[in-house]
């Protein structure tokens, strides 16, 4: 993720757990965790929307125990 394209993480209740999002010039969405900025995941906006919709619906609630 280009330093110019990377947004500042917004501080919330637990600022150690921030996810940063940015889009490049062709519309690819890039995600990274603020405490490990070298690892970047690239996806399409449609795939990200589908993932967020599923997470909100609780489809991943049983993962991890």
pLDDT tens for residues 49-62?
Answer: 999 999 999 999 88
Show the tokens assigned to 55: 């997470």
63 within some domain? no
Domain span including residue 36? 19-56
Cα 48 to Cα 13, 14, 24, 26: the distances in Å are: 24, 23, 15, 15
3 within some domain? no
48 within some domain? yes
pLDDT the model gives residue 52? 92
Q: Is the pLDDT of residue 12 over 60?
A: no
32 within some domain? yes
For 45, list phi and psi in degrees, rounded to 5. -55, -40
Distant-in-sequence, close-in-space partners of 1: CB < 8 Å, separation ≥ 6: 20, 22, 30, 32, 37, 40
49 within some domain? yes
- Into how many domains does the chain fold? 1
Q: How far apart are CA 30 and CA 60, in angstroms?
A: 21
36 within some domain? yes
pLDDT higher at 63 or 45:
45
44 within some domain? yes
62 within some domain? no
pLDDT tens for residues 23-42?
Answer: 999 999 999 988 888 999 99
């Amino acid at each position: 993720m280009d330093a110019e394209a990377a947004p500042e993480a917004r501080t919330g209740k637990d600022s150690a757990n921030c996810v940063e999002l940015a889009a490049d010039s062709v519309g690819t969405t890039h995600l990274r965790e603020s405490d490990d900025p070298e690892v970047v995941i690239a996806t399409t906006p449609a795939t990200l929307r589908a993932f967020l919709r599923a997470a909100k619906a609780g489809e991943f609630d049983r993962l991890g125990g």
